[in-house]
Amino acid sequence: MKYAGLLKQSLIDYPGEIAAVLFTRGCNFRCPFCHNPELLIKPRDPEPYDLEEILDFLRQRRGFLDAVVVTGGEPTLHAELPGDLRCMKDLGYLVKLDTNGSHAAMLEGLLQEGILDYVAMDIKAPVDYKKYQQVCRQISADDFFNVRSSIQLLLEAEIAVEFRTTVVPYLHNAEDIEAIAHYIKGAQQYTLQQFHPRVTLDPGYSNIAPYSSGEMEALADRCRPYVKEVSILNL
């Protein structure tokens, strides 16, 4: 498939590994705080990278890069994703997928085939359809049921799994964050990602002040009884 972007090396997108990061276009959600809004609109020009170019790049970088991270947008909207990831895995790379969890059947297939080494799944809100609608603005009932199924799949998966929430004042309070942690009880990793108002899909969100580091720490403390490791990410 075609990719909208390629970050040739990153030290932060696959913990402990040097990774290339591929960006896919399009998303089925419309989170107002989305910091990649350019990936939600159709490009004026054709996408810059096709699979063959990406595979050539990865062949040349073998031994220097360890991993490939595919992020979005929402990568699982693309039916070609499993085939592409299989090619990357066959080159010897660790493969990480970032997803909003709305395509559980694809996720299940990728897990069963052993293609994925790491999945980071966003949990946008307490796992309740109304709450998800408030935060994602655009989400079908099917998407929501898929989100629930993906969480269950990942709680049982025998690979590295990280759940994460971008924490936004007015959308998430302490009870919401604790409810998410409770829902994923027993998970390996829950990351609370600090909201940054620099670039947002809804311009109104660029005026919202993020929680302070002390407030983020207090939120993390509320999650620690439920999840093995809780961290705060401040990009």
Task: Decide if residue 31 touches ligand SF4 (CB under 6 A).
Answer: yes
Amino acid at 172: H
Task: Decide if residue 72 touches ligand SF4 (CB under 6 A).
Answer: yes
- Select 55 or 199, whichever has its Cβ closest to ligand SF4: 199
- Select 58 or 123, whichever has its Cβ closest to ligand SF4: 123
Token duo for residue 159:
């690979």
Task: Decide if residue 36 touches ligand SF4 (CB under 6 A).
Answer: yes
Diameter over CA atoms, the chain? 49
| 156 DSSP 8-state letter | H
- Select 89 or 143, whichever has its Cβ closest to ligand SF4: 143
Question: Which of 105, 85, 95, 81 is closest to 26 using CA atoms?
Answer: 81
Token duo for residue 59:
């062949």
Task: Decide if residue 30 touches ligand SF4 (CB under 6 A).
Answer: yes
Total residues found in the chain within this entry:
235
Task: Decide if residue 34 touches ligand SF4 (CB under 6 A).
Answer: yes
Binding mask 129-168 for ligand SF4 (x = CB under 6 A): ----------------------------------------
Token duo for residue 191:
């990351």
SS3 category, 118: strand
Evaluate whether 50 touches 2 at the Cβ level (below 8 Å).
yes
Stretch that binds ligand SF4, among 10-18, 25-33, 211-219, 223-231 (CB under 6 A): 25-33
Stretch that binds ligand SF4, among 16-24, 69-77, 142-150, 181-189 (CB under 6 A): 69-77
How far does CA 107 lie from the centroid of its chain? Answer: 13
16 in the Ramachandran plot: left (φ > 0), alpha (ψ -120 to 50) or beta?
left
- Select 93 or 190, whichever has its Cβ closest to ligand SF4: 190
Site for ligand SF4 in 76-115 (CB under 6 A): 100
Binding site for ligand SF4 (CB under 6 A): 27, 29-31, 34, 36, 72-74, 100
